[in-house]
Amino acid sequence: MDFYHFYTGKEFEAQEYLGAHVYLGGTVFRTFAPSARHIAVIGEFNGWTETPMCRVYDGNFWECSIEGALPGMMYKYRIYKQDGSFIDHADPYAFYGELRPASASIIYDRSENEFHDEKWMKKRKDMMQEPLNIYELHFGSWRKKTEEEDGWYSYEELAQLLVPYLKENGYNYVELMPLGEYPCDASWGYQATGYFSPTSRYGTPKGLCRFVDYCHQNEIGVLLDFVPVHFAVNDYALWNYDGTALFEYPNSAVGVNEWGSCNFMHSRGETCSFLQSAAYFWLKEYHFDGLRMDAVGNLIYWQGDVGRGECKPGINFLQVMNQGLKQRLPEVMLIAEDSSSWVGVTKPAEQGGLGFDYKWDLGWMNDTLAYFSMPPEYRTGNYHKLTFSMQYFYDEHFLLPLSHDEVVHGKATILQKMGTEYERKFPQARALYMYMYAHPGKKLNFMGNEIGQLREWDERREQDWCILDYPVHDTFHCFMKELNQCYLENPALSEEDYNRNGFRWIDCHQEEKNVYVFERRCSTQTILAVFNFSEQVQEYEILDSRNLTLLFDSNWECYGGKTSSQKQKSKDGQKDRTLELPPFTGRYYIAE
Indicate which residues carry an active-site annotation.
Answer: 294, 337
CA atoms within 13 A on the CB side of 296: 33
Q: Are 170 and 445 in contact (CB under 8 A)?
A: no
CA 588 → CA 76, 172, 467, 569, distances in Å?
A: 59, 22, 28, 11
Q: From CA 532, how far away is CA 395, in angstroms rounded? A: 28
Q: From CA 465, how far away is CA 444, in angstroms rounded? A: 20
Q: From CA 106, how far away is CA 73, in angstroms rounded? A: 6
Q: From CA 465, how far away is CA 477, in angstroms rounded? A: 11
Q: Which of 588, 290, 259, 592 is nearest to 430 (CA)?
A: 588
Q: From CA 400, how far away is CA 390, in angstroms rounded? A: 12
Beta bridge partners of 539: 580
Beta bridge partners of 571: none
Dump the DSSP string for 471-513: HHHHHHHHHHHHHHHHHHH-GGGTTTTTSGGGEEEEEEEETTT
Give the ranges where 301-421 is alpha helix by DSSP (H).
312-328, 362-373, 389-392, 414-417
Q: Which of 112, 321, 323, 331 is nearest to 221 (CA)?
A: 331
